[in-house]
Amino acid sequence: MQPGDAAAPRLPWRVPAALGASQLVHWGSLYYAFAMLVPAMAGDLGGSRDAVMGAFSAGLLAQGAAALLAGRLIDRLGARRVMTAGSLAAGLGLAAASRAEALWQLYAAWIAIGAVMAFTLYEAAFAAVAAAFGGAQARRGIAAVTLAGGFASTLSWPLVGLSVEGLGWRATLLVLAALNAACALLHWLCLERPARGNDAVRPRMAGGDGATLREILRHPGFWWLSGSTLLTAAVSASVAMHLVPALLSKQLDMAAAVAVAALLGPMQVAGRLVERTIGRHASLRAMGITALAVAVLALAGLAAAGGPLAAAMAVLAYGAANGVLTILRGAAPAELFGTRAYASAAGIVATANAVAAATGPLAVAWLWAASGGYGVALFALALVALVALAAFTVATRPPPAAKA
């Protein structure tokens, strides 16, 4: 049992409950819905599907650019104010996108939506949980939020598809805008101001509720942890973009490849359920090392797989590991450095992660073209995950005083 479990009944569970619901909406409408909107938007706006998809890519870059500002504002003003404003802005952005009559207008609206994503998605939600639960218990709350958020794609894709078919893409965006506005009310009512000194155990660095941003940036562990997270983000984005064609190269037909790839989301939820079940009995370090090791083996297994069954098993293992890693991405900074400057530090990492997520798939595409297949590229991803494992191990090693 982890320290502080005795205080579990007093933890403000309304915070992760509200954020779980709002993350379903935000991820479903701001991220996953776009894929279902592309064909209709392309036909109406007179652009190719690739040109329309470029608006989404531009939005992701805007998200990375805004992440540092979002983190600083959350640390200064609290997640309640920032996420409430972010949800309102997301609703306005979606409403503006629904009125686009030209491709450039869609780009402008989605760049704004992308910037708002930095104020509404996981990094902001994790900061809200860390402030409410304290660094020692943040992992439990973050696990609950990601467990709910894991169903976003599962619900969004079919529901948005049906809405586009029945109402059209413009009316669908207005419905999504209203749901985002409702999240603003949910955030305002359920989130709370940061509670200083809420850590049940002292964080790795000294000082009540944790280290200042300056202290965090001077600590080598932060950079080891950031490096591990950055490499993991590059791997995750590469897998998301290249999984289906990689499976096609393993003797699966298109229907089977899509079906196996679709299991990635449910397996992430399964991984989060496992973490939530056994997490209180295992340290963050142990869970992280295990999850990263499984990811390394899964990627190497996918690279070496000679048939569809081995490839499918590798995908299932990777999905479960990635689900755990999402929790640890949010929980590790809070547990190691406290909650005082959590959002600002997370914003720095998120900005770097956005660049990694954008460049990782391009590197895999280059390796695929250069080698004539996905074998080399998948082994390279396994090697990158192995380096991430080494960096995480260094970042979370106990301080000298704890060795005895």
Residue 6 confidence (pLDDT) = 42
pLDDT at 400 (0 to 100): 67
Name the residue type at position 70. Answer: A
Q: How many CB atoms lie within 10 A of CB 81?
A: 16
338 DSSP assignment? B
187 in Cβ contact with 119 (< 8 Å)? no
- Counting every residue written for the chain, the total comes to 404
pLDDT single digits (tens) 74-111: 988 999 999 999 999 999 999 999 999 999 999 999 99
**Average pLDDT for the chain:** 86
Is the pLDDT assigned to residue 118 strictly greater than 90? Answer: yes
- Identify residue 107 by its one-letter amino acid code: Y
pLDDT for 187 equals: 96
288-302: average pLDDT = 95
pLDDT grade for 193, boundaries at 50, 70 and 90: low
With 0.85 as the threshold, say if the pTM is over it. Answer: no
| Distance from C-alpha of 79 to C-alpha of 119, rounded to nearest angstrom | 9
pLDDT score of 206 = 42
The string of pLDDT tens digits covering residues 254-263 is 888 878 887 8
End-to-end Cα separation, the chain, in angstroms: 21
Arithmetic mean of pLDDT, 173-184: 97
Q: Which two tokens stand for residue 326?
A: 């999402």
Task: Please report which residue ranges of 192-263 form alpha helices under DSSP H.
Answer: 213-218, 220-248, 254-262
Q: What is the mean pLDDT of residues 151-168?
A: 87
Say how far residue 375 (Cα) sits from the centre of its chain.
Answer: 27
Each residue of 214-251: pLDDT tens digit? 888 889 999 999 999 999 988 988 887 788 888 888 87
C-alpha span between 244 and 229 (Å, rounded): 24
Considering only residues 195 and 338, tell me which one the structure prediction assigns the higher pLDDT. Answer: 338
Domains of the chain (ranges, CATH numbers): 11-190 (1.20.1250.20), 213-397 (1.20.1250.20)
Give pLDDT tens digits for 359-389.
Answer: 888 888 888 888 888 889 999 999 999 999 9
- Residue 24 pLDDT exceeds 80: yes
The pLDDT of residue 49 is: 79
